[in-house]
């Protein structure tokens, strides 16, 4: 199904028509086939699968800043679903093909001056991305090779493990407060599960963007490595995680994440309505427009 048709279907039903995002049967190990590499790509996400290792790399390629537009989110979910259903794939490394940027977060233009129907469709796609990634049976490793504000940080937080390039220019964090908006409860829950309540509380209130060393110090990322070693390190970490039996690791992951996942699943439509009423406020629209203007001015 083409991305726009799929997006419409997601808007109608709230889920991708490819299967449920949570509560799947555990994955089986891949069959011992000869070493093989496969790649598939749509417009914004490139996937390379190394079948011998059972590991895929998903590269975001939506220049200039990998913003999470409706199209991006739809393609992301399709790619993840394909891998989830592929017995040859047990782990996925998420990274960026755009230099210096992992992802600039939700596409602000999707949240400005659009219809209620559009906001609902967009927000369901954001929820879907998070539900699928947080509940994935695969091992998920974020190789953060650039700045990663807000929704970009959420993607990294949603993975099992985060490795960041130790470039002092790269920053990461849930900076929503700086835009005059509020991170939803499930962004907050994911953040708390990684860094703990106290750090999350101050970081969220201040809308902090943390430099790579600071992010490592507060536990937002698990490791820092020189940029040129990021790929190899992500592959090595993946191998360590895949050395464990899938079923034990998957059941443990489910146990750790279930309460947070269930909370959104139980309140999904309410969360969509909250988003619509919040984002439609004139004061919020004004804040977002000013923020976009500030980004543009910064360039000139």
From CA 43, how far away is CA 195, in angstroms rounded? 34
Six-digit token string for 199:
């750090």
Q: Select which of 16, 68, 73, 106 is catalytic.
A: 106
From CA 223, how far away is CA 162, in angstroms rounded? 7
Site map 264..293 versus ligand LKXGUNVN, x via CB under 6 A: ----------xx--xx------------x-
φ and ψ at residue 119, rounded to 5 degrees: -60, -40
Instruction: Examine residue 164 and tell whether it contacts ligand LKXGUNVN (CB under 6 A).
Output: no
CB of 188 to ligand LKXGUNVN, least distance (A): 10
CB of 67 to ligand LKXGUNVN, least distance (A): 4
Look up 176 and say whether it is catalytic.
Answer: yes
Site map 177..206 versus ligand LKXGUNVN, x via CB under 6 A: --x-xx-x----------------------
Give the residue closest to ligand LKXGUNVN by C-beta: 105
- The percent helix, strand, coil of the chain (3-state, each to 5) is 50, 15, 30
CA dihedral over 75, 154, 228, 298, signed as positive or negative: positive
Residue choice 21, 150, 194, 215 for contact with ligand LKXGUNVN (CB under 6 A): 150
Q: How far is CA 40 from CA 4, 7, 48, in A?
A: 19, 20, 7
Whether omega for the bond prior to residue 121 falls within 30 degrees of 0, making it cis, is no
Instruction: Examine residue 155 and tell whether it contacts ligand LKXGUNVN (CB under 6 A).
Output: no
CB-nearer residue toward ligand LKXGUNVN: 54 or 151: 151
Residue choice 57, 74, 175, 250 for contact with ligand LKXGUNVN (CB under 6 A): 175
Site map 37..76 versus ligand LKXGUNVN, x via CB under 6 A: ---------------------------xx-x---------
CB-nearer residue toward ligand LKXGUNVN: 68 or 237: 68
From CA 11, how far away is CA 300, in angstroms rounded? 38
Site map 206..235 versus ligand LKXGUNVN, x via CB under 6 A: ------------------------------
From CA 106, how far away is CA 152, in angstroms rounded? 7
CB of 174 to ligand LKXGUNVN, least distance (A): 8
The greatest distance separating any two alpha carbons of the chain, rounded to the nearest whole angstrom, comes to 59
From CA 209, how far away is CA 147, in angstroms rounded? 9
Instruction: Examine residue 129 and tell whether it contacts ligand LKXGUNVN (CB under 6 A).
Output: no
Give me the residues paired with residue 6 across strands.
none
DSSP labels, 107-144: -GGGGSS--HHHHHHHHHHHHHHHHHHHT-SSEEEEEE
Active centre residues (catalytic):
106, 151, 175-176
> Which residues of this protein are in contact with ligand LKXGUNVN, per CB under 6 A?
64-65, 67, 101, 104-109, 147, 149-151, 175-176, 179, 181-182, 184, 274-275, 278-279, 292, 295-296, 299
């Amino acid at each position: 199904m083409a991305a726009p048709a799929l997006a419409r279907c997601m808007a109608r039903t709230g889920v991708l028509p490819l299967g449920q995002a949570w509560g799947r049967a555990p994955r089986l190990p891949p069959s011992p086939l000869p070493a093989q590499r496969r790649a598939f790509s749509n417009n914004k996400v490139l996937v390379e699968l190394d079948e011998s290792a059972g590991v895929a790399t998903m590269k975001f390629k939506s220049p200039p800043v990998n913003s999470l537009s409706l199209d991006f989110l739809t393609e992301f979910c399709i790619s993840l679903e394909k891998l989830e259903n592929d017995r040859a794939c047990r782990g996925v490394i998420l990274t960026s093909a755009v230099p210096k940027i992992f992802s600039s977060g939700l596409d602000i233009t999707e949240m400005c001056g659009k219809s209620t129907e559009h906001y609902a469709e967009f927000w369901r796609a954001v929820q879907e991305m998070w539900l699928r990634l947080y509940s994935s049976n695969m091992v998920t490793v974020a190789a953060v090779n650039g700045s990663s504000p807000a929704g970009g940080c959420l993607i990294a937080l949603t993975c099992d493990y985060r490795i960041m390039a130790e470039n002092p220019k790269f920053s990461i964090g849930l900076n929503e407060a700086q835009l005059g908006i509020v991170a939803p409860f499930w962004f907050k829950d994911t953040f708390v599960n990684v860094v703990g309540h106290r750090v999350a509380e101050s970081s969220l209130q201040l809308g902090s963007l943390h430099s790579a060393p600071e992010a490592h110090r507060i536990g937002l990322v698990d490791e820092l490595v020189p940029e040129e070693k990021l790929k190899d390190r992500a592959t090595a970490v993946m191998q360590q995680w895949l050395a464990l039996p899938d079923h034990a690791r998957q059941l443990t992951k489910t146990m750790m994440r279930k309460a947070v996942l269930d909370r959104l699943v139980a309140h999904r439509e309410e969360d969509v309505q909250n988003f619509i009423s919040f984002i439609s406020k004139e004061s919020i629209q004004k804040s977002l427009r000013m923020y976009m203007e500030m980004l543009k001015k910064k360039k000139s």
